Every structure is written in C-alpha cells, then in structure tokens.
Amino acid sequence: MFIIPKRFRGIKRFEQVLRVITKYELGYYLEKVKLKKKSFRLKKKRMTRPVELRMILEELGGTFIKLGQLLSLRPDLIPREYCDELSKLQDDVEPFPYKEVKHVIEAEFNKPINKLFKKFEKKPLAAASIGQVHVARLRNNKKVAVKVMRPGVKALIETDLEILEYLARLFKHHVKQEIIDPEEIFAEFKEYTENELDYLKEAYNIKTFYNNFRNNKNVKIPRVYARLTTHRVLTMEFVEGVEVKEVLACPKKYKLLEKRRISDLIVYSVMKQIFIDGFFHADPHPGNILVKRKSGRITIGFIDFGIIGRFDNEMKQKLGFLFLSLINRDTESIVKGFITLNMVDTAVDVNSMKKDLSSTLGEYYDTSLYNIDMAELFYKSIRVAKKHRIRMPKDFVLLGKALLTLQGMGVELNPDFNLVQETRPFIKKLVKQRTKPSYLLRRLARETNRFAEFIRDMPEESKKVYKTIEKADVSLDNINHDLQTLTAEIRVEAWRIIMGIIIAALIIGASLTYTSDAWLSKTLIIVAFVILTYLLFTILRDNFKRKAW
C-alpha cells in the first residue's frame, strides 16, 4: 500500500510510478522515504542497480526516458556504470494520429495545412515522447522536415516533474546520498525539459549552428524556416543522408578511405564547435549525424539540437589551458586550471586534491601519449573532482562526454584514430591566442571595467563597513577619520592603476596599427606619453605633500 500526499494533481500517475518502482529491488527505497509500508519481499534473481534503473525508466516512458538520456551524459551527477547503462535508452513511442498533427499546425498558424505546405506526408518519419517529425514540401517545392509537438504533452510532463521534484526532496532528506544529489539532478532536468518544450529555443540553436557552418560545403546544418516555426511547430530544411550508426552497422558498404573521410569531417566539425565557435552539439552520437555519399564526395549533417554546450571566449581560453595540462599530465597546472574556472571551494584541501590527482595521473606516466585511454582518464578525473567537492561546470562535463562519444565513433570508423592527436592542435592554437596583442587588449579593457566598478562601489561599501562598526557601539571618531583617509588613498591608487592599464592598452594598440596606419599609431603613442607624464606628476606631487606633512 502506498502513502501519497493528497496535493498532487496526477495521483493516478504517482501511483503508477510507485507501482513500477516496487516491482524492482529499488522499491526498498520507497519504504526508506515512507511512501510505502514495509512488506515481505520474495527474493528473486538480482539485477544490477543500473539495469534496474534503466528498466524502471523504460517502463514509465516519456519524461522518465528523457531523464535517463540526460543523466547518461552527466557522469558528474551519477556514477559511470549508470551512465553506460542509461545510454541504452531509446525514446521510441507510438506516433499520434495525423488528425491531431493537422489540428496542431492549423491552430498554430490559423491557416489550413494545404495553404502552408504543397505536400505533407501523413506517416511520420520518426516519433518520440515530446513530438514527431513529418516530411513535407513547401509551396516552392523545397523538401522540409516538420517537427510537431505531441498534444497535451506539456501537462503530462508538468505532472511528472511535480512527482520527480517531490521524490528528489524525499530522497535528499531520508536516504544517505554519498555520490548522488537528487535535487541537483532534478534542477538540471527541469531546465533541460523546459527548453525541449519550446521549439523556438531549438530553432535558435539550429540557426546558430547554421551561421557557424554556412561557408563549409562539407558540413550540412538545416536551415530554419522562421515563418513556419512556433513554440509547438518547427520547420527546417530536410537533410539527406543515412545515420552514421548505419555506416557502422554495414561497414562493407563503405571503403576504408571513405570511412576515414567521414571520421575526419566529424572530428573537425565537433572540434570547431567546441574550441572555435564555443557552441557545440553535446550529444554527437551516431544517430544524430548523417552521411551523404554522392559522386564519390562525402558530406555530413547534424540533426537533433536539443542539448547544447556553450563557452565564451574567456572560458575557451581557460579550458584550453586545462585540457593541455591534462594531456601533459601536469598536476600543478590542472589544479590551477580548476581554480581559475572557479570550480574549487575555499574549504577544499588543495594539497590533498593534488595528491589524488598525482596518484590518478601517475598511472599514465609510463604510457605513450597516444596510447592513453581518454575515456578512463576522464572518468577518473571526475571521481577525484567529486571526492573533493569540485563544482564541475555543466558545459565542461558535456564537453568531456561529447569528446568520449567522438572517440568511440572515431575508432570504429578509423582504426588509427586517436583523440589526443586530433584534439591537441586545436587546444595549442587556442592557448597560443593568449599571447596575441588583440587578446591582451581585450583583457586590459575587461580589467579596466572591473577597476571602474570597484571604484564606483567603494563609497557604498565603505558606508556598510561604517554602519557595521556603529552597531558594534564603538567610538567612531578616529575610525571614521582613518576610514575616510584610507578610502581616498585607495581611490587614488586605483585610478593610477587604471591609467597604467590605459597606457598599456594604447601602446598595444599602437603596435597593432603600426603597419596599417602609421598616423594613428603615432597619435596613440603621443596620448600614452601625455597620460604617463600626468601620472608621474601626480605621484611626485603626493610624495612631496606627505613629506611636508
């Protein structure tokens, strides 16, 4: 018998969830969180916990399969054996009728479907829990793929999310969790699911990829048709080709040189996404990449842009440094990389962390760089990070998982494939950019802004300190005078630092423009000299005043 809170909208669904969990050994946890009364359980052939979890999610379907698929990409949230098992989950469901498809499209655009499309295939090309894809022709005869959201799916998912949130909270408080944080998992999943329920967000992702690869004739990204796209309908160019998993299933259909070409194109495109664009497909598995072979020419295409990773320029630089340190097995630099990424809490024992990292990396010191199992190294690094409460950025973990997927696919297509060898040139190029004048100039500008904010906020922060001391009932006369003097001196010194940064920026700017615009270069040097003269004058003046006083 189950004990269910009355506040739930979907009590029947909650009962179904509990009933399915009870069928397996994991049902024991329902008793722990007081959702089920204790009962006698017959001993039966035991499956491993990861297998049980996969079977539970499969049986519950829909939202729960999506949860499993997301978790399979997040070894920072769940152990590796769970990731490997959950990666087997397939989101294949029965399609919903064409009558409902037609109703959704016509309701979204307030027009008959035959006014929007010249031809529309009634049988879907693929069906999943949130929506299904139909092939159609536009009025100009262009072939398109139309993704239509399943009617009522939003309400169903919201009910499941309510159940999952409640279960996560219960497990957090009643079951000792050493390696899994249920509430953190739920928060990640909720964000991911809300994005999936809005096709405009996926359309934005596709448009970004399209712009990043618009000049590359070897990589096909579908074009989005904005006038035929809404929150519930997504219309995009149809990408021709067969899935890479079909190429892997029938290797004799493709020559070795063709498979190597496929591998090269996939690797280059993913590396470009990560280390150049900073906007990458986080799940580049063989079912999400298409291959087209025509007149001896190979091209690839990407589909399903639901899970995306993002890095800004500063993050790319830091990641490049961290990855190079990992490849070189440099413990000191790895820890430094973690710190610059704000991943290390102040309470972390840095020396203990260095010791564990050295022990992990030490296993590979006698191994050739090109014989290192990057998958194993990645998972071991994740374990060390979790042990020391290092906060792994979500996009960083998605990057690692994407590279591991790439490694598995690359080896199957090309026996000589090596992830380290393929990654290293991109990382070196990224790290090298840190010494370029343009990069240094951007950093100087950023630091100048930070100093300006520091100066701007200083009076307010000083007032807070003043009020805190006042509440402590301390004599404030001397403190107030000293505080004002200190504030004034800090402001003067901060402005001098800013001026120094501006001078450095002007000199770098002059060096950048010297060959292209000599007049501008000379002007920048003169301005830098004037500011430097003023700066020296103020320093000498203040020193003279202090001596006189």
Catalytic (active-site) positions = 283
Residues paired with 222 in a beta bridge: none
Phi, psi dihedral angles at 252 (to 5 degrees): -70, -15
Helices (H), 414-436: 419-432
Strand partners, 280: 309
**Residue 520 · residue 513 · CB < 8 Å:** yes
The Cα 52–Cα 404 span in angstroms is 25
CA atoms of 489 and 487, how far apart (whole Å): 5
The two structure tokens encoding residue 112: 């008959």
Of the candidates 247, 294, 166, the one whose C-alpha atom is nearest the C-alpha of residue 409 is 247
| Rounded CA separation 306/324 (Å) | 29
User: Of 271, 254, 279, nearest to 424 (Cα)?
Assistant: 271
Identify residue 273 by its one-letter amino acid code. Answer: Q
Contact 413, 262 (CB under 8 A): yes
Rounded distance, CA 189 to CA 210, Å? 26
Instruction: Break the chain down into helix, strand, coil percent, rounded to 5.
Output: 65, 10, 30
Q: Which of 269, 326, 277, 278 is nearest to 301 (CA)?
A: 269
Those residues with Cβ within 8 angstroms of residue 406's Cβ, 6 or more apart along the chain or in another chain = 266, 267, 270, 284, 419
Can you list the pairs that 483-492 forms with residues at least 24 positions away whose Cβ atoms lie under 8 Å? 487/458, 487/459, 487/462, 490/458, 491/455, 491/458, 492/538, 492/542
Buried/exposed 171-209: b ≥16 CB within 10 Å, e otherwise:
bbeeeeeeeeebeebbebbeebbebbbbbebbbebbbbb
Residues 6+ apart with CB under 8 A from 189: 66, 67, 70, 71, 161, 164
Whose CA is closest to 311, among 152, 426, 409? 426
Instruction: Assign residue 329 a region (left: φ > 0; alpha: ψ between -120 and 50; beta: otherwise).
Output: left
Burial of 46 (0-12, 13-18, 19+ CB in 10 A): exposed
Q: Distance between CA atoms of 315 and 389, rounded to whole angstroms?
A: 21
Sort 487 into a burial class: Cβ within 10 Å, 0-12 / 13-18 / 19+: middle
